[in-house]
Chains A and B, each alone.
Chain A
Amino acid sequence: MISIVAGEHGKAGAGYYGVAGQEVDADIALPALAPFAAPGPVESERSCTVPSLSGIEGDVEIFRGDAWLAEDTRFVECRHSSAGYTIDVEGVGSLSVGASGDCVVFGGDRRAIDDVVHQLLLGPGLILALSLRGTYCLHASAVARKGGVAVFLGESGAGKSTLAAFLAGSVGSGWQAVADDLLPVALDERGLWALPRYPQLKLQVDRQPSLPLPERMPVHSVYLLENVPSARAVSLRSLSGVDGALALVKHTVAAKLFDRDLLARHLRFCVGAAAAIDVRRLSFPRRRSELAAMRSVLEEDAPRLRSTGEPRVLEPLPI
């Protein structure tokens, strides 16, 4: 369970949610999580105790500089110690995330919880807590067909949302929207899983695609979208293990805030994920008429789980 502590009196059970495969117990109501409200204990017992993380011996600076939050540039400082993370945002307050990802605590003025604080809690706070628990958030759009999820990665403006919206809007084609912007994923011995119950912050609360979806769905393919204006046609090419793993690394949200242990765990996750599924580059000329061609390519590219015979052997990865 992840506890979010931001209320003035630390009132338990104000909001109880099932998000990205985790129970989230917040002492304030979080409207962005309303679609994922779950029946929780009325008076939950908090296991989360967050010491003052600042000034602990041995803490190290992870990031210090300007960052963009709630339509404004703000000075941000992120530090890490054995107790967890602190993220100080100038003019907003500080956020602490426990080392095991079990709690997210707002340390500013709790009488003035506003939109910006909500974004701080649900952005860096919750995403960092999930990452510490082994669920990483991809900056990706995603659609599902025949029970398997296709994930689209790409630079901003590469057309991730456009392609997902086109597929989901193709009547009778069987594609279903899963994620528009953020997709939590987790890995186990059976493969890579999408955890669609996560707020798509670009979409209205009542238009969340994940509402009718199961809690977790197998990821069948990951496509790295690449706009090649000189290309003649849509094409698909498998990436090497390193390129596939690093495509996942690069499109992981909040990796800039990871400390060295979490960076290493994250890399191991990405290597494992790239071994479990194919990561392929989907190149396309930037013409809107290509969307139908892309759909054909994707529909022909049936779920290709690793071929039979010997499974790919991964090395044990000592840190």
Chain B
Amino acid sequence: MNAISRQTVVRPAANLFHTALPGQQLLLDTAGHRYFALDGVGARAWELMALDRPLSAVHATLLEEFDVTAERLWEDLATLVAELADHGLVDLADQSVQPPGAVPELPRAAPARAWAEDVFTSRELEGLLRVAGSEMGLPVRFRAHGACMWPAIRDGDVVTVTPLGVRKPARGEVVVFRRPGSDRLLLHRVASVAGETMLVRGDNAGAPDGVVAARDALGVVSALERSGQPAGVLSCPTTAWGKAALRFYLSWLDARFALISVVARGSAAFRGPLA
């Protein structure tokens, strides 16, 4: 096996089928009938690795998106890659043979400082939503920014936010709200509603944002476009780092051969009619 370096390109193995769910990746080793899952940090790392870029680029993007030191991030990333390789889920190649610039840039979540370059400040956006949205009942379109709602909402998608009026947000809806104790507006999904409060969380975030008052929801996402003119930017914060754990679920080769035993239980019932 190749040593893992910053030039290593991690590619899904030939027998691997992988599919994305909100904030999660499901990996199926079709040769071994084995299922694995990656959550949060690991799922995001997998998505970036699957773009055929060297680990240095994956590392750079994750460093911008998560609240973690470069050293800790590299250590965890290399551990995850080694574990994936040990299970035969990925092939490791050396990127140095490829000419530089031959592959497209990674989609990257801009760092928080990009706020300064936006059309509107967070305060202005909030004011716009309160006046145009809540008071006038008009939907407002914004460009979403960041990876914390991936894959439902992606960096650069234009969302239409419709005021809620007197209605409370419902579980599963994506709402715009101000993060408690900060100026930042967030666009995250309602995980649960209890009385006058709601628990909010990004689909791709490691942890919920916490409990906020339902009345602090400025509006709910009612439409989504992947092209269109931006009117402003909604950001998502860097996300807390967590250990990228590969979870092993089950292997059909180890499982009891249940098929025929299920049928066998019917034999007594059917002996009569068959005789």
Contacts and interface: CB of A to CB of B under 8 A. Distances in A.
Majority DSSP secondary structure for residues of B touching A: mixed
A32 interface: yes
Contact of B35 (A249, A253, A274, A319): A249
A267 B26 contact: yes
A252 to B, nearest CB: 10
Interface in A41-69: 63, 65-69
B64 interface: no
Given A255-B252, A256-B257, A308-B170, A203 B269 contact: yes
Contacts of A71: 264, 267
A153 interface: no
Interface string B89-117: 00000000000000000000000000000
Interface stretch (B66-74, B178-186, B219-227): B219-227
How extensive is the interface on chain B, given as a class? 35 or more
B151 A313 contact: yes
A118 B264 CA distance: 11
Given A201-B265, A201-B270, A240 B170 contact: no
A179 B261 CA distance: 17
A127 B267 contact: no
B266 interface: yes
A242 B37 contact: yes
Given A256-B257, A264-B28, A32 B266 contact: yes
Interface stretch (B16-24, B79-87, B120-128, B230-238): B16-24
B173 interface: yes
Nearest to A259: B30
A181 interface: yes
B195 interface: no
A203 B31 CA distance: 36
A58 B258 CA distance: 27
Contact of B24 (A114, A202, A240, A319): A240
A114 B271 CA distance: 10
Interface string A226-255: 000000000000001110011001100111
A290 B275 CA distance: 41
Interface residues of A, number: 62
A87 to B, nearest CB: 10
A267 B17 contact: yes
Nearest to A199: B266
Contacts of B265: 181, 201-202
A151 B259 CA distance: 19
Given A115-B270, A242-B37, A310 B222 contact: yes
Given A69-B260, A254-B259, A258-B252, 16 more contacts: A68-B264, A70-B267, A119-B260, A119-B266, A122-B263, A201-B263, A201-B270, A202-B266, A204-B269, A240-B21, A242-B21, A253-B259, A256-B33, A260-B17, A264-B30, A308-B173
5 contacts: A182-B262, A263-B33, A264-B30, A267-B28, A271-B26
